[in-house]
Amino acid sequence: MSQKIDPFALEIIWTRLISIVDEAATTFVRTAFSSLAREANDYAVVITDAVGQAVAQSSVSIPSFTGTVPATIRYFLKRFPAETLQEGDVLITNDPWMGTGHVHDITIATPVFWRGTLVAFAGITSHMPDIGGRLRSSGIREIYEEGLQIPMLKLVEAGRTNSVIVDFIAQNVRVPEATMGDVWGEVAACHKVSERLHELLDETEVAFPDLSREIRARSEAAMREAIRQLPSGEYRYDIEHDGFEDKILIRACIKVAEESMHIDFTGTSPQLPRAVNVVPNYTSAYTIYGIKAMICPDIPNNQGSSVPVSIFAPEGCILNPRYPAPGGARGMIGHLLPVAVMGALSAAAPDRVWAPGSGNSALTIAGQHHGRPYAGVYFWNAGQGASQKRDGLSVISFPSNLSNTAIEQMEASVPIRVRHREIRRGSGGAGAHRGGDGLKFAFRFIGDSPAVCSFIMTRMKIAPPGLQGGEAGLPGRVTIDGKTTNIVEHIVLQPGSEVVIETAGGGGFGAPA
């Protein structure tokens, strides 16, 4: 099988690969400490080949991470060339420019050797329960405020843990047990990938480089064929975001030429001294995801899917910032990239696009209760835009796929008491198909001392617009003790504070009847 892989064998092996990454994902969820893994699905497990080209990903992976993990592995290889790696090595970083775009995600990767040869990498990224610094907020002005930066290091070298790295991380975070618990859960997931991949290779004798090449070639061919079905031409779309002192503009120009596509973000707003900047890894991940979700959703996702697509964002713009730009809330802008892609291509393929909606929102909260420290990150979702075929879904995380954190989990881990959580009826925009509705969520803070919290929410000023004549949804809103609150900066919650969050509704599609 070193030269040609039979299609029937390939399908069986492919199914095995998916079962491997899914079992590794289950390993992580069952060993992780935080609700971010167990409840929110804020992680991804990926297998790459020996040079960092993505081959397979776990079924519940979030789209941004499946695009960034292979890029991080390629950066690891620049820092630790293949010939210097050994069995038992565990690589670690949260460098935003080499990882996911903010310091709150830690990426772990392990080399997989088979019969003495490096054949693959297991990689995983997950959002940590805490990384020190100030709580994640869109108002932060430089990366040094955001928490501990971990350069590209070997957490474990040839099976021996570097206790200095462990101690350094633990000393800089509010909840060291939970944070390091999640890190070791990531390591366990990578070890599970290696264990199961060894079994697969031993049973099949397949040459992994050939397997990777075949899988990627098929996805690339399918993606090129899907692009070929679009009318060649140049398509443009502008979308605005709330911004701070001024609005933020994402300007997309897409050139479709036969079987390839180029996306140019020239004209997009410059980077800001706020934590909404999007590093190239994240820009690429969500741009390509938007294209693939639109024109080629059913073909396995791997490095081949991205080959026909090229992306340009000028250095210094919000989609390609210069260090030390902060990026803790980069999803607020990054989640607009699939929207920009679909808006631009709506003229070429109106039956395949969704109107803009609102991405997931988050509450980060930290303090002490009964003398014990706590820190948590909790998600709730909003309305999806409608399409030509159906209404938008309500209370969903799109383009990510994070789950609404369970009420029981929030109440068990931080001192809040949930008043209600319900669909915000009527918040979706009208149209031939209506936008999905947002969420209304209220809680009372019951801690015995004040807590610091921050909100990551989008579409608070500029509602998600409709598409093809559809109407905009309702914007989001936060009130604390009955007063509408500016959520850009950190907020101190006093014992007894009543908080009400309303997320935005999605835009409608087509003119209302």
Per-residue pLDDT of 195-219, as tens digits, reads: 999 999 999 999 999 999 999 999 9
Q: Is residue 327 part of a domain?
A: no
| Residue where a domain terminates, one of 220, 235, 267 | 220
Residue 241 domain-assigned?
no
Q: Which pLDDT does position 513 carry in this prediction?
A: 83
How many other CB atoms sit within 10 Å of the CB of residue 260? 15
142 occurs within a structural domain: yes
Per-residue pLDDT at 2: 42
Could you say which DSSP state residue 447 is in? -
Confidence (pLDDT) at 1: 38
The model's pTM is: 0.95
Structure tokens at 158: 């040839």
Of 203, 220, 237, which residue is a domain's last?
A: 220
State the Cα–Cα distance between residues 37 and 432, nearest whole angstrom.
Answer: 38
Domain count of the fold of the chain: 2
**First vs last C-alpha separation in the chain:** 59
Residue 6: is its pLDDT beyond 90? no
412 is written with which tokens? Answer: 């068990």
* Chosen domain end from 220, 243, 264: 220
What DSSP element (H or E) covers 107?
A: strand 105-114
* 321 found inside a domain: no
Domain that includes residue 72, residue range: 7-220
Residue range 431-477, pLDDT digits in tens: 999 999 999 999 999 999 999 999 999 899 999 999 999 999 999 99
Instruction: State whether 45 and 193 are in the same domain.
Output: yes
CA–CA distance, 423 with 29 (Å, rounded to integer): 28
Burial class (CB within 10 angstroms; exposed 0-12, middle 13-18, buried 19+) of 434: buried
Q: How far apart are CA 458 and CA 443, in angstroms?
A: 20
Kindly state whether residue 238 falls inside one of the protein's structural domains: no
Q: Is position 385 within any domain?
A: yes
Report yes or no on 369 lying in a domain. Answer: yes
Length of the chain: 513
- Look at residue 401 in the predicted model and tell me its pLDDT: 85
> Is residue 158 domain-resident?
yes
Helix, coil or strand: residue 18:
helix
- Alpha helix locations (H) across 86-162? none
pLDDT given at position 247: 95
